[in-house]
Chains A and B, each alone.
Chain A
Amino acid sequence: MEQILVIAERIVIYTVLISALYALVALGFTMIFGVARVLNLAHGAFLMVGAYTAWFAQQYLHWDLYSAFALAVVVCTLLGVVLYHGLVRHVQRSPIVTLIATLACALIIEELIKIFFTTNTQLLAPFISGSIEIDKTTVITNRIVAFGASWAAIILFWLFVHRTRWGKVILATAQDQEGAALVGIDVRRVYTLTWAISGALAGIAGVFFASWVKIDPFMWRDPLIISFAIVVVGGLGSLKGSIVAAYLIGFLEVLMTYSPSMRICTEGFRCFEFLGSSWVGVSSLLVLIAILFIKPEGLFGRAE
């Protein structure tokens, strides 16, 4: 009984922590969809660029992590603007071409990173090293930093959208692009701003994702899947839905990691693990497939 309580507590704490990061990961993705109706398949690659920028600044330029972090955010913001003006703006009218083009971008970024930084796994130093005890659960301190930063970014983002003039302009454009244009809003500038913000959010998420997990040229796939899953479960373009969905997905992932796993073996010493940490990515994929099939418009979202 004691044991179960300890595991349950650990699952709750880890869920709360990682889900905040997941919500941040999905935020930029859902924002671009909500405002511009573009599914940016390069979103995971944005995170990767952020992670590599911070790592590069730290490793080769010997910057401290805070400056490296700032640089990553700036680079990702610029990347968002460049991708919008250089590519997406011209193909936006066809959703399918946009999908292919942004996915090609993600793969191009993967190739470039392979060429310049090899496929080796890199580690990013944490903001604060060490770990602390919460009741009976050991938590890496950096993950608490990531949790705090994620919520700070989400709340700032919410305040920006709902409390500032430009935020309201973005909301108006998201609701009705033509209507916004009619009342004198420069829609293209709004889109540029949206891509810049989305890039910045990806940069922040990328640095924390990297220090939470690892850095390698394939790391863009997991955040992209997480973003999909969250955004599809929560409804594309819905902020509230995204956060609820992030907690759902995060909970499933943590549950998979700490649930007792079963090792199933056949003759010939061939075994596989049923549940357990190797199933971590699987849960969000299965939830995603199930939701897309049963309720394609998402649990909270509008029908598309």
Chain B
Amino acid sequence: MSLRAIKFGILGITVIVVAALGPFLPAKWMTTLTYAQLFAIYAMGWDILSGMTGQISFGHIFFVAVAGYTTGLLNLYMKWPIWATIPLGVVMAVVAGLLFSVPALRLRGPYFSLITLILPLAAARLVIILADWTGGELGKFGVAALCPFSDFKANQYCNYYSLWGLMTGIGLFLVWLSSSRVGKILEAIRENEEATEAAGINTAKYKIFAFAVSACVVGLGGTFSVHINESVFFNSLLSLTTSIEMIVASVIGGMGTIVGALWGGFLVRGGEQVIREVAQLKVPVGSEGLALSFLERWATFIFFALLLVLLFFARQGLLPLLLGLVKKREIRGG
């Protein structure tokens, strides 16, 4: 089986399982998985640029913010309908990505990463300066909802499956792209940019393309997030933590594999919910039992600590690790 077939297979199974799970989920877990899907979209978007080309971006949340604030504020103040503002938001994210990529890609390695870290910090200042419009750190409510149902449950289902559709579409496209000729060139750039250039390939063109695709994917997620939350909310649109969590997700799943980033997204958001659940429990120690509620505050800490451990011991990530095991068995069996 080719790698491409394996990736499509894993993607297919994952999205079918997520779709089939929907009706059986309690309300709380449905919300969790809704946001997990959103985050998986971000992680895949990050992966197509940073995972594939090795140009690590610390600031992908910036594109979420550009798309999210564009659609949210246009809808809120100009009363434009969401079918117009969502594409506009995505276009703005792509434009921002292109404008940024042309000069940024002249910088190599750490310098590139540094400047991507600056972007969301600068954007955060701007959002606060324009607080009368953006609501600053508190955010603004009253943005049109993605799903127009009055019933809570219907709305939840609608959000869940719209994001599922988006995630599946993006997943299929990115897996296809990553195993196409373009994907091979992006990987070649990561391994050795000079050699790729020497082979007569205009690497800048491909990196800019990857930038645009990445900004588009992440921006799409951002617009959906705004209309699902019915607000432009600073913490979900410009949080540096989320930006780094995209790296965590991708490193957990396997950088540059797309499907791995998708899994990583679910593992991070699902894992956070599991920690919250465990925090509700009491360990039967002593007469009163030991409350685990302190765990909730440790959730983010645990994931960053996990990132460090993974960077140390399993830099290739989950998916390549599993694939490696499969391959070993094949070799031994054959």
Do A96 and B109 contact each other (CB < 8 Å), given the known contacts A103-B58, A108-B304, A115-B301?
yes
- Closest residue on chain B to residue A278 by CB atoms: B129
Give CA–CA (A95, B112) in the complex, Å: 12
- Among A68-76, A165-173, A269-277, the one that faces the other chain is A269-277
Give CA–CA (A15, B202) in the complex, Å: 46
- Closest residue on chain A to residue B245 by CB atoms: A107
Check if A270 sits within 8 Å of B132, measured CB to CB. yes
Check if B118 sits within 8 Å of A39, measured CB to CB. no
- Closest residue on chain B to residue A228 by CB atoms: B114
Report which of B111, B131, B304 forms a contact with A304, defined as CB distance below 8 A. Answer: B111
Report which of B107, B132, B297, B307 forms a contact with A292, defined as CB distance below 8 A. Answer: B107
- The residues of B that contact A288 with a CB separation of less than 8 Å are 115, 118
Report which of B114, B126, B132 forms a contact with A271, defined as CB distance below 8 A. Answer: B132
Give CA–CA (A101, B301) in the complex, Å: 14
Check if A289 sits within 8 Å of B297, measured CB to CB. no
Q: Is residue B315 contacting chain A, with contact meaning CB distance below 8 A?
A: yes
Q: Is residue A57 contacting chain B, with contact meaning CB distance below 8 A?
A: no
Q: Is residue A132 contacting chain B, with contact meaning CB distance below 8 A?
A: no
Give CA–CA (A147, B126) in the complex, Å: 30
Which label, helix, strand, loop or mixed, suits the secondary structure of the A interface? helix
Check if B56 sits within 8 Å of A292, measured CB to CB. no
Give CA–CA (A298, B298) in the complex, Å: 40
- The residues of A that contact B129 with a CB separation of less than 8 Å are 272-273, 278-279, 282
- The residues of B that contact A111 with a CB separation of less than 8 Å are 298, 300-301, 304
Check if B106 sits within 8 Å of A95, measured CB to CB. no
Check if A270 sits within 8 Å of B298, measured CB to CB. no
Q: Is residue A155 contacting chain B, with contact meaning CB distance below 8 A?
A: no
Which label, helix, strand, loop or mixed, suits the secondary structure of the B interface? helix
Check if B56 sits within 8 Å of A99, measured CB to CB. yes
- The residues of B that contact A225 with a CB separation of less than 8 Å are 118, 121
Report which of A100, A108, A282 forms a contact with B301, defined as CB distance below 8 A. Answer: A108
Do A115 and B114 contact each other (CB < 8 Å), given the known contacts A100-B247, A105-B308, A272-B130?
no
Task: Mark A25-55 against chain B: 1 for CB-CB distance below 8 A, else 0.
Answer: 0000000000000010100000000000000
Check if A292 sits within 8 Å of B128, measured CB to CB. no
- Closest residue on chain B to residue A87 by CB atoms: B308
Task: Mark B99-131 against chain A: 1 for CB-CB distance below 8 A, else 0.
Answer: 000011011011101110110011001101111
Give CA–CA (A96, B244) in the complex, Å: 13
Interface residues in B231-252 (C-beta closer than 8 Å to A): 240-241, 244, 247, 251
Interface residues in B272-304 (C-beta closer than 8 Å to A): 297-298, 300-301, 304
Task: Mark A244-280 against chain B: 1 for CB-CB distance below 8 A, else 0.
Answer: 0000000000000000000000000111110000110
Q: How far is the CB of A213 from chain B (nearest CB, A)?
A: 16
Check if B301 sits within 8 Å of A112, measured CB to CB. yes
Check if B110 sits within 8 Å of A292, measured CB to CB. no
Report which of B113, B118, B297, B305 forms a contact with A99, defined as CB distance below 8 A. Answer: B113
Check if B122 sits within 8 Å of A282, measured CB to CB. yes
Do A104 and B244 contact each other (CB < 8 Å), given the known contacts A96-B109, A292-B114, A292-B115?
yes
Q: Is residue A91 contacting chain B, with contact meaning CB distance below 8 A?
A: yes
Most chain B C-beta atoms within 10 Å of own C-beta, residue among A39, A100, A282, A304: A100
- The residues of A that contact B104 with a CB separation of less than 8 Å are 293
Check if A221 sits within 8 Å of B58, measured CB to CB. no
Do A97 and B304 contact each other (CB < 8 Å), given the known contacts A270-B132, A273-B129?
no
Q: How far is the CB of A81 from chain B (nearest CB, A)?
A: 17
- The residues of B that contact A114 with a CB separation of less than 8 Å are 297
Kindly list 9 other residue pairs between chains A and B, CB separation below 8 angstroms, not including A111-B304, A281-B125, A292-B107. A95-B110, A101-B308, A104-B308, A112-B301, A221-B121, A221-B240, A228-B118, A269-B132, A278-B128
**B contacts, CB < 8 Å to A:** 54, 56, 58, 103-104, 106-107, 109-111, 113-115, 117-118, 121-122, 125-126, 128-133, 240-241, 244, 247, 251, 297-298, 300-301, 304-305, 307-308, 311-312, 315
Give 17 A-B contacts (CB < 8 Å), ordered by A residue: A87-B308, A91-B311, A91-B312, A95-B109, A99-B58, A99-B110, A100-B311, A103-B244, A112-B301, A228-B114, A270-B133, A273-B129, A281-B125, A285-B122, A289-B115, A292-B107, A293-B104
